[in-house]
């Protein structure tokens, strides 16, 4: 059973990473479509609203998640260390994407 779990972990990590990337790109497209809609200030003027961009903490989450995952799994050996850094980064990306900057 443990051999199956160890063999499946890289595929699970790849699947989660692909889901995060697809989600991130779809959110960026939605934000661009919203910001490209014209705002009518006067009857003669139309301008695009460029201040509606939403920022998040993805890069901070990746860094902190990788550090925590490496620290927690480093005591179990080299294989666990690589899984710890991988899943730590994925967890950090998900957490960082959920927290929006104000």
Break the chain into its structural domains and give their ranges: 10-38+54-98
Question: Does position 41 have pLDDT exceeding 70, yes or no?
Answer: no
- 80, two tokens: 């666990």
User: Mean pLDDT over residues 49-54, rounded?
Assistant: 53
Question: Does position 46 have pLDDT exceeding 50, yes or no?
Answer: no
Nearest to 81 by CA among 71, 93, 91: 71
Nearest to 80 by CA among 69, 92, 64, 89: 69
User: Mean pLDDT over residues 62-86, rounded?
Assistant: 83
1-15, 44-58, 61-75, 88-102: the lowest-pLDDT one: 44-58
User: Mean pLDDT over residues 49-69, rounded?
Assistant: 75
pLDDT at 45: 46
């Amino acid at each position: 059973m443990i051999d199956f779990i160890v063999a499946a972990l890289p595929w699970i990590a790849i699947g989660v990473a692909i889901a995060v990337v697809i989600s991130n790109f779809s959110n960026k497209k939605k934000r661009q479509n919203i910001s490209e809609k014209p705002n009518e200030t006067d009857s003669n003027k139309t301008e695009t609203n460029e201040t509606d961009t939403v920022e998040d903490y993805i890069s901070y989450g990746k860094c902190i998640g990788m550090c925590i995952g490496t620290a927690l799994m480093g005591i179990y050996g080299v294989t666990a260390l690589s899984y710890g850094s991988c899943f730590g980064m994925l967890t950090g990306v998900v957490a960082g994407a959920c927290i929006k900057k104000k």
